[in-house]
Amino acid sequence: MQGVIVFAHGSRDPLWRAPVEAVAEQIRRTDPHAKVACAYLELCAPDLQAAASALLAEGATKVRVLPLFFGMGKHAREDLPVLMAELAASHPHVVFEQLATAGEDPRLTALLARIALEPRT
């Protein structure tokens, strides 16, 4: 069973989480069978390990991690691979897949360009 973790930096401001949770909700609407959770690197919960454990408890056997970082900065380049290795070591029977950061996907950059150029109504 497919699981998806929408992974972001985190913030103490609870309003900051709304767009992250909106991505998770869109995934649920797109595939009602997918197990979806949000996770945060710091400043709020749950962390990646807790989110993965929750998905596994729901029956996920493969988990994709979508990093909602715009670029390949230190968190995506250094911190996340360490966390992914820890997940794999903690749950050797589960396939964990780290997706590219959101900003590295040319579909997202194309969408942002269209949004910037579309006429306002």
Question: What are the tens digits of pLDDT across the range 61-106?
Answer: 999 999 999 866 676 777 899 999 999 999 999 999 999 999 899 9
CATH of the domain at 71: 3.40.50.1400
Whole-angstrom Cα distance, residue 17 to residue 37?
Answer: 12
pLDDT number for residue 78: 79
Residues designated as active site: 9
Among 10-24, 26-40, 67-81, where is mean pLDDT lowest? Answer: 67-81
In the sheet that 2-8 helps form, which strands lie side by side, from edge to edge? Answer: 35-40, 2-8, 62-67, 95-98
Higher per-residue pLDDT: 108 or 73: 108
Domain count, the chain: 1
Residue 8 pLDDT exceeds 90: yes
Average predicted confidence (pLDDT) for the chain: 93
Which domain, by its residues, includes 104? 2-117
